[in-house]
Structure 1
Amino acid sequence: MSTAHTAGLVLPVRHRPTGYDHESVIRLGEFADAQPGWSTLWVPDSLMALPFLDSGVLLAALAARTRRIRLGVGCMASLGFRHPVTVARQWADLDALSRGRMLLAACPGNGTGTAVENELRTFGMDYREKVARFEEAVELLHAVSSGATSYSGPFTQVENLDLGPGFVQRPLPIWITANPSPTAGPATVDRLLGRVARLGDGWLTFNVTPQLLRERVERLYELRAKLRPEASGRLEICVFLNTNVGLDQAAVRADATQRWFQTAPRGVTLDDLDGIAAIGSPEQAADLAGRLAEAGATHLAIEPLSLDVPAQARALTELLLPRLNLLPTPDRSLVQS
């Protein structure tokens, strides 16, 4: 059975109710960096709507204390709130500090909910404006990480931009997150996947079965051919996968269920987990990973759905990764800026 080419570990950045602090997150990142099966570390992002530690602070610390592994934010829901020149400045330095290991997965964030509405009010914009600013920021980042020193858009005009040592990766890889509901109609799917096709070097998604992923990967390539005919080559397809593996099936299920009730992802019910999460034996988890790869996934962003994330990360390293037949990842500490 096919497997995704690479796998990344999603770090636990919620400061409540789980109580993971910066140092414990960084130590877990150091652990994964020492295990050749992990190719990427992921940190989520939110300014106000979700109780996350700051993504930029964590990425800088991880860049300084890891050597090999790629470092991603997935997804950067606050991009539409941040001035894109500030983001460019920070990410140029992050890419230099990490010697070319940064990966930005960007998204406009959710548009509804009390916490989201409060966040929008705080930044003085509606969701439509936030989405427009997000798209402009992606375009600016593509441009300046490719060497441009000026940019002009509806919200941002900059000339003579000097980013110092600048980006090691030219351009910075930017993936776009889009999660159409499994019941979304064709117009909604095309609107969301069309954004990926127009702006992204890859697609990050969650809450997909292998069959649904296959259908949407096919549609994504059709849309890219229509909207960006000059683009060629393979898109990176990353599936965010809640995972809990172990030898005691009852214990695995109980642990995953308790953790789910702490986090309760938007748009996902407990019943949904059987089809979209890898919970169970290592063999069961590897089987789902293989079917996702056959459907088009090139990368898995694996979030330990566990009350004890470090222990589950060790279990994933020992029990699951050897069954995935992952491609070897280069030692990026040798990349010179």
Structure 2
Amino acid sequence: MQGIGLSLPNRGILFGAITVAEMLELAEFADQGEYFDSVWVGDGLIAKPRVEAVTSLAAISARTERVKLGVCCLATFPLRQPVMFAAQWASLDVLSGGRALLAVCLGATTERSGGNVVAELTATGVTGRERVPRLEEGIRLVRALWSGSTAWDGQFWSFPEVSLEPKPIQDPCPIWIASNPDPARMPERRYRAAIERVATLADGWQTAVTTPEEFGRKWDEIRTAADAAGRDPSAMSSSAHLMINLGASRAEARAEGKRFLDTYYSMDSSDEILDRWGAFGTPDEVLTRIDEYLERGLDIPILRFASFDQPRQMELAEQTLLPELQRRRRAVPAC
């Protein structure tokens, strides 16, 4: 294990699960403590609205000094103008002293978020079919802008040579891809394309809503594909966004976790979804579940407290779970 991440519920501000002050205090706590190496916020526009991700990280940057600052994940990346975004993210890296960690993804699907996704795409002038090629071209374009003077002639963006300043402090500034392709719910060619996309374009892989067994299989496939593409799989990192709730019993923790998830994502979580999201139970039960991911190669568990009392969950985690996870870690390589 390379490190431990803390996911801050910036969507929860909208429905009272956490205040802005509490969210910033949790970030400070993570930064000043010995357990967390990174803090993360979510991203969404209309499909899953929340306090905007890059703005949130800028505020967190001003309150922290050590932890990496990540987006888990930047679902609006295919909707954003990449030149403007490259400048924003480079500025965040400069303001934070080289701590920005970007994970991009395709965004919510119509199957899971319905009409809100259609409204989001319509409002931003992007079609569903464009999301994959916009993400792929956007990654290449942002990297080029961070590397030096760039002229571009692509499918979606074209312009004569420009030089973007400031450049990120990190060189290269990491870009991960977040995805969770499901071979049971998509054609084989789309599944293979999703695996290849991470293997060839990304510095790391981030995922969520997946069992330990599924995680291990996909991570093995990504590393195999990276090796076949001439890349060094050992240079890539993996992370998983895990919802956790620590309680006196599994039933108690699971019940509160379900209430939180149902409110946070506007859905009715089934038992299967809860099992795929993470771990709910006593500290020992939660640790056992996280260990199942670590045994299959997970480098960075990103923990979000599925609770309406975030400070209390942090207190419980510090007393029970985090010291045990700390024993499982190794030095985090520089990004």
Aligned to 1:31: 29
* Structure with the larger RCO, 1 or 2 (CA within 8 Å, 6+ apart): 1
Aligned to 1:56: 54
Aligned to 1:97: 95
TM-score by length of 1: 0.89
> Using a 3 Å threshold, how does the CA distance of structure 1 residues 267 and 200 change in structure 2: closer, same or farther?
farther
Aligned to 1:196: 198
Query: In the alignment, does 2:7 pair up with 1:10?
Result: yes
- Residues 114-140 of structure 1 show CA distances to partners (whole Å, capped at 9, x for unaligned) of 000011111122111233222211111
> Using a 3 Å threshold, how does the CA distance of structure 1 residues 222 and 273 change in structure 2: closer, same or farther?
same
Distance (whole Å) between structure 1 residues aligned to residue 242 and residue 183 of structure 2: 16
State the secondary structure of the residue aligned to 1:75: coil
Distance (whole Å) between structure 2 residues aligned to residue 259 and residue 235 of structure 1: 32
Aligned to 1:210: 212
Mean Cα displacement is larger for which, 151-160 or 307-316?
Answer: 151-160
Letter paired with 1:243: I
Distance (whole Å) between structure 2 residues aligned to residue 329 and residue 68 of structure 1: 15
Q: What pairs with 1:77-96 in structure 2 (closer than 5 Å)?
A: 77-96=75-94
- Give, in angstroms, the shift of residue 196 of structure 1: 1.0
> Using a 3 Å threshold, how does the CA distance of structure 1 residues 117 and 178 change in structure 2: closer, same or farther?
same
> Using a 3 Å threshold, how does the CA distance of structure 1 residues 249 and 294 change in structure 2: closer, same or farther?
closer
> Using a 3 Å threshold, how does the CA distance of structure 1 residues 326 and 166 change in structure 2: closer, same or farther?
farther
Letter paired with 1:279: F
Q: Is the 2:134–2:156 Cα contact (8 Å) retained in structure 1?
A: yes
Distance (whole Å) between structure 1 residues aligned to residue 91 and residue 284 of structure 2: 41
Distance (whole Å) between structure 2 residues aligned to residue 142 and residue 246 of structure 1: 44
Q: Is the 1:240–1:300 Cα contact (8 Å) retained in structure 2?
A: yes
- Residues 258-306 of structure 1 show CA distances to partners (whole Å, capped at 9, x for unaligned) of 2122134879633332355211121221122222111111011111111
State the secondary structure of the residue aligned to 1:172: coil
- Give, in angstroms, the shift of residue 201 of structure 1: 0.7
Q: Is the 1:141–1:172 Cα contact (8 Å) retained in structure 2?
A: no
- Give, in angstroms, the shift of residue 17 of structure 1: 2.5
Aligned to 1:123: 124
Mean Cα displacement is larger for which, 111-120 or 312-321?
Answer: 312-321
- Residues 228-284 of structure 1 show CA distances to partners (whole Å, capped at 9, x for unaligned) of 324553321111111011345443233223212213487963333235521112122
- Residues 168-188 of structure 1 show CA distances to partners (whole Å, capped at 9, x for unaligned) of 111111110111237346434
Aligned to 1:176: 177
- Give, in angstroms, the shift of residue 28 of structure 1: 1.7
Aligned to 2:167: 166
Mean Cα displacement is larger for which, 308-317 or 33-42?
Answer: 308-317
- Give, in angstroms, the shift of residue 205 of structure 1: 0.7
Letter paired with 2:7: V
Distance (whole Å) between structure 2 residues aligned to residue 147 and residue 326 of structure 1: 40
Question: What runs of 5+ residues in structure 1 fail to find an aligned partner?
Answer: none
Query: In the alignment, does 2:155 pair up with 1:154?
Result: yes
- Residues 186-210 of structure 1 show CA distances to partners (whole Å, capped at 9, x for unaligned) of 4342122121112111111112222
Q: What value does the CA root-mean-square deviation take over the aligned residues? A: 2.4
Distance (whole Å) between structure 1 residues aligned to residue 227 and residue 302 of structure 2: 26
Q: Is the 2:223–2:233 Cα contact (8 Å) retained in structure 1?
A: no
Distance (whole Å) between structure 1 residues aligned to residue 222 and residue 267 of structure 2: 23
Letter paired with 1:210: P
Distance (whole Å) between structure 2 residues aligned to residue 180 and residue 288 of structure 1: 21
Letter paired with 1:37: Y
Question: What runs of 5+ residues in structure 2 fail to find an aligned partner?
Answer: none
Query: In the alignment, does 2:245 pair up with 1:254?
Result: no
Distance (whole Å) between structure 1 residues aligned to residue 315 and residue 34 of structure 2: 13
Distance (whole Å) between structure 1 residues aligned to residue 86 and residue 117 of structure 2: 25
TM-score by length of 2: 0.89
- Residues 28-61 of structure 1 show CA distances to partners (whole Å, capped at 9, x for unaligned) of 2111111120111111111211121111110111
Percent identical residues: 33
- Give, in angstroms, the shift of residue 100 of structure 1: 0.7
**Moved >4 Å (runs of 4+):** 264-268
| Structure number with higher helix proportion | 2
> Using a 3 Å threshold, how does the CA distance of structure 1 residues 326 and 18 change in structure 2: closer, same or farther?
farther
Distance (whole Å) between structure 2 residues aligned to residue 202 and residue 267 of structure 1: 31
Aligned to 2:239: 238
Q: Is the 2:198–2:205 Cα contact (8 Å) retained in structure 1?
A: yes
- Give, in angstroms, the shift of residue 84 of structure 1: 0.3
Aligned to 2:301: 300
Give the number of aligned pairs: 328
